[in-house]
Chains A and B, each alone.
Chain A
Amino acid sequence: MPGKVKEIERKPLNLAEKTFLPQIVGGLKVTLSNMLRKKVTREYPDVLPPIPPGYRGMPTLVKDPDGREKCVSCQLCEFVCPPKAIRITPGSIPEGSGNEHIEKAPQEFEIDMLRCIYCGMCQEVCPEEAIFLQNKFTLNGLSRQELVFNKQRLYEAGGIREDEHFKWKKKKEAEAHGNAHH
C-alpha cells in the first residue's frame, strides 16, 4: 500500500553525546523523578478498590423500607440460574402478620456460593425486585457447607432496599377501595 514516507533526520552524535554521559544523566533524572512520584500500588486489604455502580458481587435478598421480606418464592430465579446454584422451598406467609394477601414466602432459600457465577440473571428475572447482587466479592469459608448461604444470611447481607414500590401494600389498599386500578 503506497503511503507517504516521512524521513526522520538522525543527527550524528556530537563529542559529548558520544561518551553517552549526557544520556545517562538524563536517564538518572527520569528515574529519580519517578522515584519521588506517588506510587501506583494499592495496598489491598487495607485499601479497597473503588466499586463501580452495578457491580455484580454476591447475590442477596432485600427487604423493603417497611421491613417486609420481598421474596415470594416464585422460583423464577431458581429456574433461570445457569449453574443451578439456588434452591428454594416455597412456603406460606405466617398467620397474623398482616401480609396474608401475598400468600407465599420462601420457607428455605439457599444459594450455593461455590456454584454461583455472579451472572445476575436472578436479579434480572425477579418480578418482586427481591434479589440483588451487591458489592461484596470476597467470600470464603472453612468447609463447603459454610459456603451454602441460607435465607437468614442472605437477608442479613441484603439489608433494606430504599425503593418506593410498596407493591403489596398498595394492592391491599386498592382492594379495600374497590380495586380501582389494580
Chain B
Amino acid sequence: MDWIQLAIGAGFGLAFIIVVMSMAGLTVVAERKFCGFMQGRLGPNRTTIPILGSIPFFGRMITRMGLFQLVADGSKFLFKEEVLPGHVNKFYYNLAPVVALIPPLVPLVVLPFGQMTLADGTIRQLIIANVDIGMLVILAFSSLGVYGTVLAGWAANSKYPFMGGIRASAQMISYELTMGLAILPVFLWANVPGSTEGLSIANIVVFQQTHWFVYLQPLTALLFLVALFAETNRAPFDMAESETDLVGGFHTEYGAFKFGIFFVSEYAHVIVGSGLFVLLFLGGSNFLPMLANPWPVGIAGAILSSLWFIAKTSALVFFFIWIRWTLPRFRYDQVMNLGWKMLLPVAIANLVFVMVLLAWLTPVAAQ
C-alpha cells in the first residue's frame, strides 16, 4: 500500500470537505440574501461578531454582505440545548443525521475538481480516486441519501415527520430512475466502443475540452437537471421538508446540532449535485467550449481551473436558489405523475434516440 498516496488522498479529502462545508454554509447565507433580493428586501446585513466585525473597512463590508450570519448560525446550532424527546426511537433518532450527512459527502472522492497541465504537456485531472465506475459510486450514494430522510421520519414517532419521510422516500426513488437514464447518453457519447474508461467522470471532462454536452444533448441536460432538483429535495420538489409547511416535515423533532447537520447535508447535497451537473454537462474545469484552456502550467493552472470549476458550480447553485424562489411547490401526486408518467418515458426515448444517433454517426470501421 502506497502510504504517501494514501496521505495525499486523505489530505485532499479533508481539504475538499472543508471547502464543501464552507460552501454549504455560504450557500445558506446566499440563499437568504438572494431570496431577500428577489422579494424586494435585503437579506441579513447586520449580524456582526465582536472583534472581527470592527476591522475598519472589511469588517463593515462583510457585515453588510451578511457573511457573519454564517458564524452566528453555526454557533447557534452548536450551543443550543440538545433535547432527546421521550417518544422517539433513540437509536435511529441519533443515527439519522449521520446517515443524512454521509451520502452527499462521499461522492466528492470521484469528482474531478480541476486539471493540472504538467511540464511535458500532458493534462492530469485532479481527482481523489479516478476509478472507472465513478458515476456508479455517485448514483449508489445518492440512493443511500434517502435513508437519512426515511430514518428521521420513522424515528420521530409522530404523524407529520412520518408522512414527510414517506413522501420524500417515494419522490427520491422515483427520480433515481430518470437520473440514471439521463446519465447514460452522456457516457455513451463520450466513450468510443472499446474504451477502458467506462463510467469515469474524468473521462467526460477530458471529452468536453472541445464541445460541452449542454448543447450537444440539451434534452438530457434538462432531464438530469429536473431529476437533480427532485433528488436533493429542493423546490419545486421540496414537499419532504415543507410539505406540512407549518410543522416542518421530516426534521420536525430535531433541534440544535442534529438539525444543523440535516440543514448542512441538504445544502452539501445541492452543491455536490450542481458540481456533478457542471462536470457532466457544463465542461467541468474547462474554460469555454471550443476555446483552448488558458490554464498555465503547474500548480497555478491547477488552482485556476479549480477556481473556475467552483465558479461554475456557484452559478448553478444560484440557479437552484433562483428556481426555488420562482416556482410554487408541486403537489405530491403531481410529483409522482411527473416522475413516472412524463419524465421516465422521455428519458427512455432520449436514450434510444441517442443510441440510434450514435450508431448512425459512428464510422463503420470503429463499430
- Quick check: A27 and B327 within 8 Å, CB to CB? yes
Interface residue tally for chain B (C-beta within 8 Å): 14
User: For chain B residues 276-333, which have a beta carbon within 8 Å of chain A?
Assistant: 322-323, 325-327
- Quick check: B38 and A35 within 8 Å, CB to CB? yes
By CB atoms of chain B within 10 A, which of A24, A31, A32, A40 has the most? A31
Q: Indicate whether A40 sits within 8 Å of B40 (C-beta atoms), given known contacts A28-B322, A31-B322, A35-B34.
A: yes
| B340 within 8 A of partner (CB) | no
- Quick check: A37 and B326 within 8 Å, CB to CB? no
| A177 within 8 A of partner (CB) | no
Q: Which listed residue, B36, B41, B323, touches A28 by the CB 8 Å rule?
A: B323
| A182 within 8 A of partner (CB) | no
* A78 to B74 Cα, complex, angstroms: 55
Main secondary structure of the interface of A (DSSP, over half): helix
Q: Which residue of A lies closest to B45 (CB)?
A: A43
- Quick check: B37 and A39 within 8 Å, CB to CB? yes
* A113 to B34 Cα, complex, angstroms: 42
Hey, which chain B residues are within 8 Å of A24, CB to CB? 323, 326-327
| B42 within 8 A of partner (CB) | yes
Minimum CB–CB distance for A28 against chain B, Å: 5
- Quick check: A32 and B322 within 8 Å, CB to CB? yes
Hey, which chain B residues are within 8 Å of A27, CB to CB? 326-327
* A37 to B41 Cα, complex, angstroms: 10
* A35 to B45 Cα, complex, angstroms: 16
Minimum CB–CB distance for A94 against chain B, Å: 51
Hey, which chain B residues are within 8 Å of A37, CB to CB? 40
Interface residue tally for chain A (C-beta within 8 Å): 13
- Quick check: B40 and A39 within 8 Å, CB to CB? yes
Hey, which chain A residues are within 8 Å of B36, CB to CB? 39
Hey, which chain A residues are within 8 Å of B39, CB to CB? 34
Hey, which chain B residues are within 8 Å of A28, CB to CB? 322-323, 326
| A41 within 8 A of partner (CB) | yes
Hey, which chain A residues are within 8 Å of B37, CB to CB? 34-35, 39
User: For chain B residues 238-260, which have a beta carbon within 8 Å of chain A?
Assistant: none
- Quick check: A31 and B325 within 8 Å, CB to CB? yes
* A32 to B319 Cα, complex, angstroms: 11
A-B contact pairs, 28 of them (CB 8 A): A24-B323, A24-B326, A24-B327, A27-B327, A28-B322, A28-B323, A28-B326, A30-B326, A31-B322, A31-B326, A34-B37, A34-B38, A34-B40, A35-B37, A35-B38, A37-B40, A39-B36, A39-B37, A39-B40, A39-B41, A39-B42, A40-B40, A40-B41, A41-B40, A41-B41, A41-B42, A43-B42, A43-B45
Residues of B within 8 A of A (CB): 34, 36-42, 45, 322-323, 325-327
Known: A27-B327, A39-B37, A41-B42. 7 other contacts (CB 8 A): A32-B38, A34-B37, A34-B40, A39-B40, A39-B41, A39-B42, A43-B42
- In the A-B complex, list the 6 residue pairs whose CB atoms are closest, starting with the nearest: A35-B37, A31-B326, A35-B38, A27-B326, A41-B41, A41-B42
